[in-house]
Amino acid sequence: MVSAAEDTPMAGMGAAHRAWSRHSPRERWTRYAVTLLIGLAAYWSIYNIDIDPEWVMDAPVQIADLFIRMSPPDMSRLPSIASAIVETLNIATIATVLGVLVSMPVAWLAAQNTTPNRATLWLGRVILVSSRSVNTIIWALLFVAIFGPGALAGIIAIMFRSIGFLGKLMSEAIEEINRAPIEALEAVGASRMKIILYGIIPQVVPTFVAVTILRWDINLRESTVLGLVGAGGIGLILQGSIDTFAWQTVSTILLAIIAMVVAGEALAAWLRNKVM
Amino acid sequence: MLKISNLVKCYGDSKAVLSDLNLEVPGQSCIAIIGASGAGKSTLLRCINRLVEPTSGTIELNGVNLTHLQGSSLRMARRRIGMIFQGFNLIDRLTVMENVLSGRLGYVPFWRAALRKYPQEDIDRAFHLMERVGIAHYANKRADELSGGERQRVGVVRALMQEPEILLADEPTASLDPKTSVQIMELLRSLSEEYRLPVLINIHNVQEAKEFTQRIVGMRFGRIIFDGLPSDLDAEAMDHVYDGVPAAEREDAQGVILRAAAG
């Protein structure tokens, strides 16, 4: 048996030592260089933002201190907080409704299969991109300057930000419709508007509803910070309480915001199930 | 009467899909158009209602030249041409009744269509036709809840709602099982007689074509190479239409398909 094994090709193994490595030397050095570069970049950025180590060391103490000052939550201002929560809800809801109304024609312009021509396609896309590339808070700063402080500026700001989000997703829904029913309606002699009414709208309704609920959910959270720039809602009294070091009121406000957002999310989830 | 003269259709610069095609359909008749895939059957039907733009030639329906119509006059012409599709092409999320009434979209004003306030005579006509084909009890069901055969009946009724002067059926039975497909062919034949309509049916199933139609048109490479009675379509003519596929082999294939569908 032993002599038979020596005759097999396996017997020659180990005679020649062949080198193997996962990377060639060139690849290896490239990897070292890239790692070094990432390390340098990380060091440079931390160095650049100028973190004061004393503040970092101090943080746990500060957190504990703030927590003590914040508790127990001060319930005495609950009525005014509740009415601010209602205002926040109203801002989010009205802005979502307006956003949906405005974004529908924009979606129609920005969808390749419904837009009248190339110029309108680009017009639609420019509206979507400019709405999306500006943050809600920046829109709010702008509209506070125009309309003055208050809920109106907040509503318009959230609406402007929503148009891009809603319009983009809706125009994609329009582009993904099934062509077959459209062909049938063309064959029937239906005009463009009737084809939109019977062929396109029924196909995109589920997506439109889902996207609207999602955006309302997002707007609810965004409208809580509008007050920081004076555009109405719960953020306004939050800012005021922080400025006056009324920490016990601040904690009540934060709890109220959490309660509202959780309730809103639950409602959105329920609606989604109901509609789908 | 439908009169197609010297019809040519080319997509881009490629070879013509339809080349110098002539066809006359005088009055009421049920006509099958057969031919291998790519022979141009579907393009021919779609040229008639201008879903596909012909490159040259003329198509006349009851004295009206359809080939140069634009805008609203094209829509006016289309509303008198009913079309039935292989994939039914219904609007799934609308009810059967709404799908049926969409056959009137060429006639009713926009506000009526939007508010679903159709004239009473349209509603009467819809119920009458749905009863005729046996789907009236589905009127308020969503179209996507129906079976294939029922969906195709909705498609047929939608076309009839147009008060058409001609029906075009593009592979109306290709998505259906053998039994349902026979029922639909029977329905098309009897409707053709009832409403004195010319009906053009693109069809792959030669057996059904022979059984249910009065005239068979065979197409190959964008031309009509057979035009005659079903009884004239013998083995030789079939070979001619379907090119190099020998008759025996084709029948075998047909048998396999039928057995597979039945089993």
What is the tens place of the pLDDT at every residue in A186-217?
Answer: 999 999 899 999 999 999 998 999 999 999 99
User: For residues B175 and B86, what is the distance between their CA atoms, to the nearest angstrom?
Assistant: 6
**Is the Cβ–Cβ distance between A247 and A231 less than 8 Å?**
no
Contacts of A143 (CB under 8 A, 6+ apart): A152, A153, A154, A156, A157, A160, A231
Q: Do A184 and B158 touch (CB under 8 A)?
A: yes
Q: Report the run of H or E that residue B24 belongs to, with start and end.
A: strand B18-25
User: For residues A188 and B9, what is the distance between their CA atoms, to the nearest angstrom?
Assistant: 22
The answer, as to whether pTM is greater than 0.90, is no
Residues of chain B contacting residue A194, judged by C-beta atoms under 8 Å apart? 105, 110, 113
Nearest Cβ partner for B89 among A184, A193, A202: A184
The pLDDT of residue B201: 94
Which DSSP string do the residues of A115-131 spell out, in sequence order? -SSHHHHHHHHHHHHHH
Same domain (yes/no): B190, B249: yes
Same domain (yes/no): B132, B159: yes
In a domain, B61, yes or no: no
In a domain, B158, yes or no: yes
| For residue A19, pLDDT beyond 90 | no
Q: If phi over 0 gives left and psi between -120 and 50 gives alpha, with beta otherwise, what is residue A64?
A: alpha
Mention the CATH class of domain A79-275.
mainly alpha
Residue ranges making up the domain that contains B149: 91-163
Nearest Cβ partner for A187 among B51, B87, B114: B51
Q: If phi over 0 gives left and psi between -120 and 50 gives alpha, with beta otherwise, what is residue A261?
A: alpha
Same domain (yes/no): B101, B171: no
Instruction: Centre a 10 Å sphere on the Cβ of residue B15 and count the other Cβ atoms it contains.
Output: 9
Q: Do B102 and A190 touch (CB under 8 A)?
A: yes
The pLDDT of residue B36: 86
State the smallest CA–CA distance between residue B162 and chain A in angstroms.
7
- Decide which of B125, B140, B163 is a domain's last residue: B163
**Is the Cβ–Cβ distance between B153 and B133 less than 8 Å?**
yes
- Decide which of B142, B163, B184 is a domain's last residue: B163
Average pLDDT, chain A: 89
Q: A57: pLDDT confidence band, cut at 50, 70 and 90?
A: confident
What percentage of chain A exceeds 70 in pLDDT?
94
Q: Cα–Cα–Cα angle for B193, B197, B200, nearest 5°? A: 105
User: For residues B228 and B218, what is the distance between their CA atoms, to the nearest angstrom?
Assistant: 9
Same domain (yes/no): B74, B181: yes
Same domain (yes/no): B202, B256: yes
Q: Which residues pair with B8 in a beta bridge?
A: B56
The structural domain count of chain B equals 2
Same domain (yes/no): B33, B101: no
In a domain, B111, yes or no: yes
User: For residues B178 and B208, what is the distance between their CA atoms, to the nearest angstrom?
Assistant: 10
What is the tens place of the pLDDT at every residue in A139-174?
Answer: 999 999 999 888 899 999 999 999 999 999 999 999
Same domain (yes/no): B212, B159: no
Q: Report the run of H or E that residue B61 belongs to, with start and end.
A: strand B56-61
Same domain (yes/no): B104, B140: yes
In a domain, B17, yes or no: no
Q: Do A198 and B94 touch (CB under 8 A)?
A: yes
Residue in A with minimal Cα distance to B83:
A187
In a domain, B23, yes or no: no
In a domain, B263, yes or no: yes
Same domain (yes/no): B192, B262: yes
Same domain (yes/no): B97, B222: no
In a domain, B59, yes or no: no
Start-to-end C-alpha separation, chain A: 73
The pLDDT of residue B240: 82
B11: tokens are: 């997509």
Residue in B with minimal Cα distance to A203:
B93
Residues of chain B contacting residue A191, judged by C-beta atoms under 8 Å apart? 72, 75, 105, 110
What percentage of chain A exceeds 90 in pLDDT?
59
Same domain (yes/no): B261, B185: yes
Q: Do B106 and A189 touch (CB under 8 A)?
A: yes
Residue tagged 């070091």 (tokens): A245
Q: A56: pLDDT confidence band, cut at 50, 70 and 90?
A: confident
The pLDDT profile of chain B, 263 residues, written as one tens digit per residue, is: 899 989 999 888 777 888 889 999 988 889 999 988 888 899 999 999 999 999 999 999 998 999 889 888 999 999 999 999 999 999 999 999 999 999 999 999 999 999 999 999 999 999 999 999 999 999 999 999 999 889 999 999 999 999 999 999 999 998 889 899 999 999 999 999 999 999 999 998 888 999 999 999 999 888 888 898 988 888 888 888 887 554 444 454 555 555 555 54
The pLDDT of residue B246: 47
Q: Chain A residues with CB-CB distance to B under 8 A?
A: 180-181, 183-191, 193-194, 197-199, 202-203, 205-206
Same domain (yes/no): B192, B237: yes
**Is the Cβ–Cβ distance between A150 and A117 less than 8 Å?**
no
Q: Report the run of H or E that residue B9 belongs to, with start and end.
A: strand B2-9
